[in-house]
Each structure stands twice: as structure tokens, then as C-alpha cells.
Amino acid sequence: MNPRTLLWLVPCLIVWAVLPFVVPRNIADLLVFTGIYTVAGLGIGLLLGHCGIVNLAQATFYGLGAYASAYCTVMMGLPSIVGFLAGAAISMALAYVIGRPILRLTGYFLALGTLALSAIASALFFEWDWLTGGTLGIGGIPKLDLFGFLLDRPSRYYFFVWIVAFACMAVAHNLIDSRTGLMLRAMRDSSTAAAALSIDLQALRTKVFVVCALFGSLAGSLFAHHASFVSTQSFTVDRSISFLLIPVIGGATSIPGIVVGALFVTFLPELLSKLGDIHQILFGLALVAVVVLMPEGLVGAFAKLRTRFARKGGSHG
């Protein structure tokens, strides 16, 4: 690791470690949700930024992870890790089975296909009240207990959530930098050329869709143990759209951009809510401004600005 990287990385880690202890409880809670949304958004970013696929079904896997953790711990009295593993297994299996046929579609048809999956899952979560509790939901989900250390406060849960988020970022980074990532970019830029190079497009898309489902399920399980309550209201199509906004706002091809997008989606509505009923309109205007003025996301816009200043500095020198 070069000295320049360490120069900004070390202060960032210090701020990250100190932050939950110096901010109010509600801000610490929002930082926890930022970490959860980062995990969910990473899968969307992989599909959108590196495959060119719009996925509007992430709330489905988010819900499966949450309900698996809730059912296993509350209804069956099993350890929390069983709920995490059950949710991940079910989500990945569903993503594989559904992904094989649905990922044959392209463009708007593929986006509509994933949207239909999210709508169907939302309806099933509501109808299968014997399993999900319906609108009443499932309460009493226990806080995570790590070797006798109870994560019962946002300042404690913060570290666990972000360690999981950093691990998911490392997985995503390794995937992008691998031979698979190279094939993904080739498929995104020209699927015809990629097919001519004997790249199995269907298998590649399905593989990334399964990884996306895994991240969504992990995020759902993290949410369930933090909120201690899950209901159908948390896993609607609106939630899928919110997850899609994360890479769109931050930058779909950038892993740090996912964190920025998650911060935007989590904190901006909270800040604007203090302005009263107009806050939803203002949030919508902010989204439109980012999408129109910064098509590569906030991180992409910052990188362009930095490059422009660097060139100006070089020309003056």
C-alpha cells in the first residue's frame, strides 16, 4: 500500500471507529442503516454498473433474509446464524432458478421482469401470513449476541454491520478485478462481441444475480436483528426502487460510490423531513438533479472535477 493511500485511509478509519460514540443515538441508528443499505446496494451496483442490468427485485431477497432470520429465531428458537444461512441459501437458490429464464430478457423487458418478481414476492409476503405474520409482522427478534457481547445498541451494532459491509465490498472488489469482472465489462459494452469470444452470457449473468441475492439476503437479516420486528411494509416495490437509487446516485461502477449512495438515501430524507410535508418533493428534486447533472453519480462527478483541476494545475505549471 503506497503512502498516499495510507495518508487518507488512516484518518478515515479513525473517524469510522470514533463516530458512533460522538454522535446522537438517532444518527448512529442512521449509520447502521447506511451500512445495511450498502450491503444491499452492492449487489445492485454489480448488476447495473458491470452487467448493464437493472434489477428491481432486491427487496425480494432482502425480505427473504429478514423473514428467515425472524422465523428461525422467534418461531423455531434456533441460533441467529441459522437464520442468516437459511436466508442466504433460499435467496441464492431462488435467484438461480428465476434468473436462468428471466435473464434471457434484455433492456426494459428485463427490468420489468425483475419488477414483476418484486411485486409477486410482496404479494406473497402479505398473503402467507402463517409464515410472515402478514401486516402484523413478526416481533421479538433477538439482538445479535457475539460470544456474550450483546449488540443491543446502535453504537454496538454499527461495528458489526460495517464489518459485514466491508467484507462484502472486498468480495465485490475481487469479483470486479478478476477474470469474471473482465468478462462482465465485455458483456456490458458489447454482448455480441462477448458471445463471439465464447463467453457464456447466460451463466455469467446468473452468477452475478446470485451474488446480488446473497448480498440482499444478508442485508435483510441484518435489518431484522436491528429492528427486532419485520412486516410486509419493509419489503415492497418501493424498497427495491430505493435500493436501485443507491448505485445510480453514488456511481454504479464504483464501490465507494455505493457507500455515498447509501448515505444519500439514508440521511437526505431524514434531514429534509424537518422541513415538513414538502420534504418528499425536495427529495425527488434532489434525485432528478443528481441523475440529470451527474449521470455517472456523485463519485463519478467528483472524479471528473478532480481531473479537471489537475489538468488546469498542470497547464499552469
Closest CA to 86 of 209, 224, 207, 205: 224
Q: Could you tell me which CATH class the domain 24-316 is placed in?
A: mainly alpha
| pLDDT tens per residue across all 317 residues of the chain | 556 666 777 888 888 889 988 999 999 999 999 999 999 999 999 988 888 888 999 999 999 999 999 999 999 999 999 999 999 999 999 999 998 888 888 878 888 999 999 999 999 999 988 888 888 899 999 999 888 889 989 989 999 999 999 999 999 999 888 888 888 888 777 777 777 777 777 888 899 999 999 999 999 999 999 999 999 988 988 899 999 999 999 888 888 899 999 999 999 888 888 777 787 787 788 877 877 777 777 887 777 777 777 666 655 55
Report the interhelical angle of 201-227 vs 179-189 (nearest 10°).
110
pLDDT in tens, 66-99: 999 999 999 999 999 999 999 999 999 999 999 8
Specify whether the CB–CB gap between 240 and 56 falls below 8 A.
yes
List, in order, residues 6 or more apart from 176 with CB less than 8 Å away.
Answer: 46, 50, 184, 255
pLDDT of residue 95: 95
- pLDDT number for residue 2: 57
Query: What is the rounded distance in angstroms from the CA atom of residue 38 to the CA atom of residue 25?
Result: 20
- Report which DSSP code applies to 236: S
Q: CA of 168: how far to CAs of 20, 88, 140, 313, in Å?
A: 21, 13, 28, 37
| Other beta carbons less than 10 A from residue 288's beta carbon | 10
Length, in residues, of the chain = 317
pLDDT of the residue at 83:
95
Three-class SS of 139-195: ECCCCCEECCEECCCHHHHHHHHHHHHHHHHHHHHHHHHCHHHHHHHHHHHCHHHHH
pLDDT tens digit sequence for 149-186: 899 899 899 999 999 999 999 999 998 888 888 888 88
pLDDT at site 28? 93
Burial class (CB in 10 A: 0-12, 13-18, 19+), 18: exposed
- The per-residue pLDDT for 1 is 54
Collapsing DSSP to helix, strand or coil, 250 comes out as helix
Residue 230 DSSP SS3 = strand
